[in-house]
Chain A
């Protein structure tokens, strides 16, 4: 019984240390949040893609789906992986990592992120991690109509949430499917 319990106790100790370290970090960052005045926050869907974390503005996202095999389309752009059928509609799938010029990771295509808008388009990501609220506002579409504006913003990690880069899906779609 002692032999069986000893590793569990050790693991519990390690978890406790990790939990304590996370809380210590959270307490250290709390000052920044508490210091400033209450500002409006914007939700982002954080996904891993090509070894990086990408944040998509939540209002642009319609649904997160489990990954499925897609049918290749001949003559399409390189970033277009193919098409899938969703709820009786044909939806083109765009590999986000390929569209951003990133190498595709090991677990590519685990989740599909369906965007709002007509026609519907799905982004293929490695994995949809979580939803993070950030004070950073999503970039306005009209700010750089010719595509010369900044492509993304960076959001540092806080309150146990990971850091990520904000991407405007409309810009990506324009680059891939003009």
Chain B
């Protein structure tokens, strides 16, 4: 790399030197050529002006042309070129690449100064002649014409010398460029030789340090490539080859694991492929069964359609019956309402009977009190009769008749007492009967209340029954509507079953493809097993 950069630098230096020499020299040469042309143009214009003046002097009519103004422009150009050349030659003399070349520019400068010295009088003389030509001074022209012709020749000759000096400078520049080129070529050659020697040395070292371990590793890798995963490198050291060896050992370990895993996975894959095939066969059988089931379902759905029609018909009949029953139950409701009113009337009457019985009982009580007082009276009469008899007996014979009266009185009192006893017994029976009647009446009231409650219950029950029947009517109407919707749905189900039949046929075809694919997969799995057997772990 350094060699290449150095060589490119040398070549660039040579080229730059050459370019600079060529550029300078070419510019100088062109300016010198231009200067020569200018000086010749000055001569030509002066000559044309002289010729015109002479021609006019001879009396020939000529075209009046102003030669003086272009001549002056040309002279100014020539002056300017002289000044440029002198300045450039002076500048290049100070920046020349070699002493030789500086001396050549020195000589060029000298020759240009010489030519300028010659040119200035020539220019002045020529200008004077041009003025004379314009003024028509033929004699002055002819007097000076020779002198000016000589100065013209000297001027062109001086310019030619300057040109020769420049040619010499160019030749010197070419030689300088050739020297630089030679030096560059030698240095590049030397550097190249040194590089070749270094390359040989490096190759030798690399062969010793790298190639032999690489050969070992390559043979190991070749064994691995043949499928022998049992060997290991086990390198020692810390260099790149040792690290590569350890990495390869790890890789071979991983490959061994991978091969074992791969073998197990391939075995599993083989088994799985066999299972898939068996499953596909089972699925084919299932699809056959499904097809048969779909046929049976279609037949069943047809039966359901007929059954739905019958259900609709029967439900309409039931609706009619239920409406009739609802009417009947409303009549029953009215009858039960009448029964309840009758029960109320019975209860009111029984309560009236109970009130009457109570009043009868009170009167019986009054009778008992009266009987009690009668009994008391009879008791007193009894004692009175006894005392009367005692008094009569005490009166002796005169009281005998009074004793008879007392005896009769006592007899009446005793009969009255017996009668009151009978009346009391009868009153007791009446009281018992009244009590029984009261109890029976209360029972009747209770039973009529129970009957009222039951008839109310019956009324509510019949109302519920009526409501239920009306609900049933609505329900059966809904059933009829639902059955109609069901018929529509069953038609859709028939269509769906048709689709299912087609789908099951497609499924059967797909299952056959799956079976074929699983057979292929089994073959692939066996091939994989054969491949996996290649690796010895």
* Chain A interfacial positions (CB closer than 8 Å to B): 11, 43, 45, 58-59, 61-66, 111, 128, 130-131
Given A130-B410, A131-B407, A66 contacting B390 (CB threshold 8 A): no
Query: Chain A's nearest CB lies how many Å from the CB of B241?
Result: 149
B383 lies within 8 A of A58 (CB) = no
B389 lies within 8 A of A131 (CB) = yes
Q: Which residues of B contact A63 (CB under 8 A)?
A: 387, 390
A111 lies within 8 A of B383 (CB) = yes
Given A111-B383, A128-B383, A64 contacting B410 (CB threshold 8 A): no
| Cβ-neighbour of A128 out of B380, B386, B422 (below 8 A) | B386
Query: Chain A's nearest CB lies how many Å from the CB of B420?
Result: 15
**Does B393 sit at the interface, judged by CB under 8 A?**
yes
Q: Which residues of B contact A61 (CB under 8 A)?
A: 390
A62 to B386, CA, bound (A): 11
Q: Which 9 A-B pairs have the closest CB atoms?
A: A64-B386, A131-B389, A58-B393, A43-B393, A64-B383, A64-B387, A61-B390, A128-B386, A63-B387
**Does B370 sit at the interface, judged by CB under 8 A?**
no
B383 lies within 8 A of A45 (CB) = no
Q: Which residues of A contact B379 (CB under 8 A)?
A: 66
- List 26 A-B residue pairs with CB atoms under 8 Å apart, sorted by A's residue number: A11-B422, A45-B386, A45-B390, A58-B389, A58-B390, A59-B393, A59-B394, A61-B390, A62-B390, A63-B390, A64-B383, A64-B387, A65-B383, A66-B379, A66-B380, A66-B383, A128-B386, A130-B386, A130-B410, A131-B386, A131-B389, A131-B390, A131-B393, A131-B403, A131-B407, A131-B410
**Given A59-B394, A131-B403, list of 15 further CB < 8 A pairs?**
A43-B393, A45-B386, A58-B389, A58-B393, A59-B393, A61-B390, A64-B387, A64-B390, A65-B383, A66-B380, A128-B383, A130-B410, A131-B390, A131-B393, A131-B410
Query: Chain A's nearest CB lies how many Å from the CB of B490?
Result: 82
Label chain A's interface by main secondary structure: strand
Q: How large is the interface on B (under 10, 10 to 19, 20 to 34, 35 or more residues)?
A: 10 to 19
Query: Chain B's nearest CB lies how many Å from the CB of A139?
Result: 18
Which of B380, B393, B407, B422 has the most chain A CB atoms closer than 10 A to its own CB? Answer: B393
Q: Which of B223-250 contact A (CB under 8 A)?
A: none
| A-contact 0/1 string along B367-399, CB 8 Å cutoff | 000000000000110010011011001100000
Which of B389, B390, B422 has the most chain A CB atoms closer than 10 A to its own CB? Answer: B390
Query: Chain A's nearest CB lies how many Å from the CB of B477?
Result: 66
Query: Chain B's nearest CB lies how many Å from the CB of A105?
Result: 18
Q: Which residues of B contact A58 (CB under 8 A)?
A: 389-390, 393
Q: Which residues of B contact A45 (CB under 8 A)?
A: 386, 390
A43 to B387, CA, bound (A): 13
Query: Chain A's nearest CB lies how many Å from the CB of B210?
Result: 155
A150 to B483, CA, bound (A): 122
Q: Which residues of B contact A62 (CB under 8 A)?
A: 390
Q: Which residues of A contact B389 (CB under 8 A)?
A: 43, 58, 131
Q: Which residues of A contact B410 (CB under 8 A)?
A: 130-131
Closest-by-CB residue of A relative to B376 is A66
Closest-by-CB residue of B relative to A42 is B393
| A-contact 0/1 string along B409-437, CB 8 Å cutoff | 01000000000001000000000000000
Which of A43, A61, A131 has the most chain B CB atoms closer than 10 A to its own CB? Answer: A131
Query: Chain A's nearest CB lies how many Å from the CB of B381?
Result: 12
Closest-by-CB residue of A relative to B383 is A64
Closest-by-CB residue of A relative to B393 is A58
Q: Which residues of A contact B403 (CB under 8 A)?
A: 131
Closest-by-CB residue of B relative to A110 is B379
A130 to B403, CA, bound (A): 12
A111 to B386, CA, bound (A): 11
Query: Chain B's nearest CB lies how many Å from the CB of A14?
Result: 11
Closest-by-CB residue of B relative to A127 is B382
A62 to B387, CA, bound (A): 8
Q: Which residues of A contact B394 (CB under 8 A)?
A: 59
Q: Which residues of A contact B386 (CB under 8 A)?
A: 45, 64, 128, 130-131
